[in-house]
Amino acid sequence: EKLLTDQDMQDDIFTPFGPTVEPYLTEQCMIPKEPFEMARTAWGDKIDIMIGGTSEEGLLLLQKIKLQPELLSHPHLFLGNVPPNLKISMEKRIEFAAKLKQRYYPDSSPSMENNLGYVHMMSDRVFWHGLHRTILARAARSRARTFVYRICLDSEFYNHYRIMMIDPKLRGTAHADELSYLFSNFTQQVPGKETFEYRGLQTLVDVFTAFVINGDPNCGMTAKSGVVFEPNAQTKPTFKCLNIANDGVAFVDYPDADRLDMWDAM
């Protein structure tokens, strides 16, 4: 409990560990310089990848907020979510903090009962903006293909991580909820074949299997939906994704691209 200070919690630093640059360059050294610098020459840029996440990744952060709900009403909330590595003045940080407030809570204030704006902010800051930057960086440096998926399966009973680890009363697709659609687990639940949960399960397994076997995620389930899952264009700033949702599968512009544009502007 002493590893994270109150300031860390206010700044939404939610783990006391992370990559550490090793001080000596040896054969066993894994992180000789900052990960951002390593990424510029990463061997992974030479291979095709499939990357993505869930629509409400930020639900994961409510686990922390439930322990300290006062953080949502703290005046430092938005200022603390301006990325600390930005080399900007305090005046500029305050300006960006005001933009965060306007974007996620334009007419209200965050609270445990009014947490959707916080969930969206954490989805963007902690997960999707990093994915966005990775996608664009690969497009700029490499000719390898990047396929992007977004999982938006909101089930009352099958999103096991959200139900068991966060709050069974909440809705949305949390970080790690996709695991129940990809792998068998201890619940041994199998959704009915007529349900969107079963269709989502079939789609995810088929897409991942096709990519592993063929290097191409297009498969029987995408064909059945009349969808072609394409890699992202090399220079297009708004990436496209395979959106797997309750009402079907579609290949679309990333639905929350305008929010990521705001983070890019920082």
Q: Which residues are catalytic?
A: 57
Rounded to a whole number of angstroms, the CA Rg of the chain reads 20
DSSP assignment string, 56-77: TGGGGGHHHHHH-GGGGG-TTH
Q: Does residue 153 contact residue 199 with C-beta atoms inside 8 Å?
A: no
If we measure between CA atoms, which residue out of 210, 233, 230 comes closest to residue 143? 233
Contacts of 118 (CB under 8 A, 6+ apart): 58, 61, 62, 65, 72, 104, 110
Please report, for the chain, how many H helices and E strands are present, in that order: 12, 4
Contacts of 78 (CB under 8 A, 6+ apart): 97, 98, 100, 101
Strands (E), the chain: 49-54, 146-152, 240-245, 248-253
Q: Which tokens hold the place of 250?
A: 């579609």
CA dist., res. 132 & res. 260, Å (int): 8
Q: Does residue 254 contact residue 236 with C-beta atoms inside 8 Å?
A: no
CA dist., res. 96 & res. 100, Å (int): 6
CA dist., res. 143 & res. 146, Å (int): 9
